């Protein structure tokens, strides 16, 4: 029974998140139906990260076991054929080791958050960026973001519905830079808490508009209090852009 590793991109807007849910559209549900369509086999996909409602991915990683030894290119093309016209694409399929796990073998995950920072609203990127009209101080945002790097108790940035056993996580990278009309925030860590990236982004944005300082961000981190968190950024601008193995 060969194990396949899939590299996937998707637009999260039409779905209620990655994870399969009864009677609700999900990325997992759509891909599993596509696999059933071409192979006749009901599989249960394992993912590197369960993205929330409206969150996108350019490099999600999944794995599955199939009864038949299909060529990887056939698996990729067949799943894509059954996914038409949904905004999900299998970029790559390859044979993986029997002990490979998209979730447990992952050594790091990378997220990108896009903020459109201009007066005019997006026409082509509606639902794919967070539109903020007020000018953002990118240098202050980047400097403030460094207080989040390292091992911390991230209770302040942890959703109340988070099921992780511990709020302690280690952030390896937190970067903020401007790219044209957009402000980008990048975060890298082995794993993240539920809605942690969106929570951190919303609070860093408060620094960008001059409402908070770097010292205030450090203070709310140390508070270990969800009520201290700033506005949680919408899912629109969040992308899973890489998984390291």
Active site amino acids: 52
The tokens of 191 are what?
A: 């794993």
CA distance 40 to 53: 28
Residue 121's CB is within 10 A of a number of other CB atoms, namely 11
Inter-residue contact 79 to 31 (CB < 8 Å): yes
SS3 for 99-143 is: CCCCCCCCCEEEEEEEEECCCCCCCCCCCCCEECCCCCCHHHHHH
Backbone angles phi, psi at 109, to 5 degrees: -130, 140
């Amino acid at each position: 029974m060969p194990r396949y590793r899939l590299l996937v991109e998707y637009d999260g807007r039409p779905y209620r998140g990655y994870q399969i849910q009864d009677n609700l559209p999900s990325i997992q549900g759509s891909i599993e139906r596509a696999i059933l369509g071409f192979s006749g086999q009901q599989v249960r996909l394992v993912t590197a990260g369960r993205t929330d409602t409206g969150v996108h991915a350019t490099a999600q990683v999944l794995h599955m076991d199939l009864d038949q030894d299909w060529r990887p290119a056939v698996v990729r093309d067949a799943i894509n054929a059954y996914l038409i016209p949904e905004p999900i694409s299998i970029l790559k399929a390859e044979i993986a080791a029997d002990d490979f796990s998209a979730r447990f073998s992952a050594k790091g995950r990378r997220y990108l958050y896009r903020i459109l920072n201009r007066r005019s609203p997006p026409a082509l990127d509606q639902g794919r960026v967070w539109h903020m009209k007020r000018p953002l101080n990118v240098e202050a945002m980047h400097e403030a973001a460094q207080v989040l790097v390292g091992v911390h108790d991230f209770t302040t940035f942890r959703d109340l519905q988070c099921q992780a056993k511990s709020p302690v996580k280690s952030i390896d990278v937190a970067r903020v830079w401007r790219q044209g009309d957009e402000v980008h925030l990048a975060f890298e860590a082995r794993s993240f808490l539920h809605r942690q990236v969106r929570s951190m982004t919303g609070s860093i944005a408060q620094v960008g508009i001059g409402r908070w300082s770097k010292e205030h961000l450090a203070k709310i981190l140390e508070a270990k209090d969800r009520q201290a968190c700033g506005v949680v950024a919408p899912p629109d601008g969040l992308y899973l852009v890489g998984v390291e193995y």
